[in-house]
Structure 1
């Protein structure tokens, strides 16, 4: 049985009951009975000869509602490792982004080309752009990945949390906390500093990553919506404890202040036998998003499609939002139903997971799965001419939009493209042409 077949068999044996339910919950899990201490976090002697260790995702003194930390009970403490040395960053880039000038033009890319044989998920990361300053823990980065080999090394990101959006091919995230499969149509959220390895469930895998340098993602407040709606906390699944007891050389790569550092351990650092806390990885099925929309007239602002948000120091202004355009009904009367023409103070990177997006034509040279578009702050955008003409004349019967799954990383600052993105062969030339042919219809009385 091949490695992929073995992983598929393992994942197929996992049911929803195999995971821990609830975003932000205080979870606890042990893979060996008696491994989790009770009544205290750090007893004089941890059970079963394990080491007790706290992993803090926020400052100790942040408010309880925002505080993120987990206690890990592991075979060896994380401190037991040799010195890290610099290694090649590959095509991974980090803020501040200074290779190119901020660009007000609308940009769109085709999917990443096929990688060289033996490219794992980490080597397959390709940075499109971002903003902020990683040393100040502000801003975000947009990455894409295309891999055709499972990782044998272990990775952690000290710079930010990673929101992974598979578009093609399933992933198995082997984390310190346990196993998390993530397939197209799902997202995986790996907190800052958590170690993990990405194994493939198919011959190749492709998708998107938002690296959030700022405050950890949280569920957005619902305000006047009330107590329910959008992404339900219970639909986020955390892994049950599972550990590796592996002796022998294991490469561990750490991303720190924009650079990759490597060390060879004499054991696997994925050796957590039990844990409890709320600084944990999750997987979430985007098809479970409870879409809120208009049942009278007008197209609501896309903020109602927010799955996760990273708050900033300004109330209501996100460092980065993750927004999904999930299947939904459109019923507005006397309404232009696709997203309207607009200019936005926020900057938007949009990607497509499956099917088509209702404001952009698909097909060759269009907006396709695996590709993406960047509309920086105040750049005018909206439906292309074909979509406008169709939506302006269609009979307004109730319409089910269920032939696509698109998403958006929306951020408070301009996304500055990397040099490799600005000069990429898969950058579409003439993207502006999709708005050509929007005719003058004005007829003064």
Structure 2
């Protein structure tokens, strides 16, 4: 999408504010008694509060309304999303899957959350250790709905069709041959522009980081500057019919209703060692040609 802007770097400390609200970031402090524009200061933590400075990860966001202003969460149908690995009989044979069929919008409208299908995984969300591997197939955008994963980070890889990811930190356009990461606890919605399919790698407990270079030297693998995080953006929108927030928590889905869009912060200040508390995207094909090995990017 033309006009989207990004900040460059992996492990940087960023500050960003929507140009519609200049001066929305407090100066010299994170949580003043009265924030500019009457905003509410909230911290999103990506690590323990008392972690050493080198590993302490958090972001400050400045919201129009508090994020806790919503009705209680209630359980909802999980569809094809699961983490019950112990209910599957072991099979030592080699397994392959044909491409998942993308549903036709004329037959059934399916958005990103409804179109998640779990393929395999290991570990457990409750113990905060392991991974889940999913496919997504969808044909319609998330309208007055957003998703929040309390279990871990989502690495999303579009395979067919591009997606517009709107998050609490800004907006990203992600195309095939690109990846994006939505980290734990962040609300986001996905817009599509037709039939769309892709992959999702979910990690519990840990966060993605760049691997050490080792014997390949200083200039191998992905460069930190090639990772992009969006600039701040917000929408100040009331939703009289109800806005649905979907939360994935301990492998289950829950939903809550509120009367406004939660994607409504006008500025953020991010102290981000390894980007633990923001969103970002990466384009290996454009930046490094078509010989980049995907597993070499992150670990």
Q: Is the shorter-chain TM-score for this pair beyond 0.5, marking a shared fold?
A: yes
**1:140–1:214 Cα contact (<8 Å) kept:** no
**1:87–1:262 Cα contact (<8 Å) kept:** yes
Mapped to 1, the partners of 2:172 and 2:257 lie a distance apart of: 25
Q: 1:180 aligns with which of 172, 178, 181?
A: 172
Which residue is equivalent to 1:164?
156
Equivalent pairs counted in the alignment come to 285
Shift of 1:28: 1.1
Whose radius of gyration is greater, 1 or 2?
A: 1
The secondary structure found in structure 2 opposite 1:265 is strand
TM alignment of 1:402-413, pairs within 5 A: none
Encode CA deviations 1:348-393: one digit per residue, 9 max, x unaligned: xxxxxxxxxxxxxxxxxxxxxxxxxxxxxxxxxxxxxxxxxxxxxx
**2:63–2:264 Cα contact (<8 Å) kept:** yes
Mapped to 2, the partners of 1:218 and 1:45 lie a distance apart of: 36
Shift of 1:103: 2.6
Mapped to 2, the partners of 1:271 and 1:247 lie a distance apart of: 10
Which residue is equivalent to 1:337?
none
Q: 1:139 aligns with which of 125, 130, 134?
A: 130
Mapped to 1, the partners of 2:55 and 2:92 lie a distance apart of: 35
Mapped to 2, the partners of 1:218 and 1:289 lie a distance apart of: 19
**Which stretches in structure 1 are left out of the alignment for 5+ residues?**
1-10, 294-301, 310-445
Matched, 1:120 2:111: yes
Shift of 1:228: 2.5
TM alignment of 1:143-222, pairs within 5 A: 143-152=134-143, 153-200=145-192, 202-222=193-213
Shift in CA distance, 165/304, structure 1 to aligned 2, threshold 3 Å: closer
Q: Which has the higher contact order (CA 8 A, sep 6+)?
A: 2
Which residue is equivalent to 1:19?
6
Q: 1:28 aligns with which of 3, 10, 15?
A: 15
Which residue is equivalent to 1:55?
44
Mapped to 2, the partners of 1:135 and 1:154 lie a distance apart of: 23
Mapped to 2, the partners of 1:304 and 1:119 lie a distance apart of: 29
Shift of 1:288: 4.7
The secondary structure found in structure 1 opposite 2:79 is coil
Matched, 1:107 2:95: yes
Shift of 1:38: 1.5
**1:230–1:290 Cα contact (<8 Å) kept:** no
Shift in CA distance, 66/102, structure 1 to aligned 2, threshold 3 Å: farther
* Structure 1 vs Structure 2 CA RMSD: 1.8
Write 1 or 2 for the structure with the bigger share of strand.
2
Mapped to 2, the partners of 1:257 and 1:225 lie a distance apart of: 39
TM alignment of 1:24-423, pairs within 5 A: 24-31=11-18, 32-94=21-83, 96-115=84-103, 117-152=108-143, 153-200=145-192, 202-248=193-239, 249-277=242-270, 278=272, 279-288=277-286, 290=288, 305-309=295-299
**2:102–2:197 Cα contact (<8 Å) kept:** no
Shift of 1:162: 0.2
Mapped to 2, the partners of 1:305 and 1:217 lie a distance apart of: 12
Shift of 1:289: 6.0
Shift of 1:26: 0.9
**2:226–2:287 Cα contact (<8 Å) kept:** no
**2:153–2:204 Cα contact (<8 Å) kept:** yes
Shift in CA distance, 98/211, structure 1 to aligned 2, threshold 3 Å: same
**Which stretches in structure 2 are left out of the alignment for 5+ residues?**
none
Mapped to 1, the partners of 2:228 and 2:23 lie a distance apart of: 23
**1:231–1:289 Cα contact (<8 Å) kept:** no
Shift of 1:44: 1.1
Encode CA deviations 1:302-340: one digit per residue, 9 max, x unaligned: 99951111xxxxxxxxxxxxxxxxxxxxxxxxxxxxxxx
Mapped to 1, the partners of 2:293 and 2:167 lie a distance apart of: 32
Mapped to 2, the partners of 1:185 and 1:303 lie a distance apart of: 12
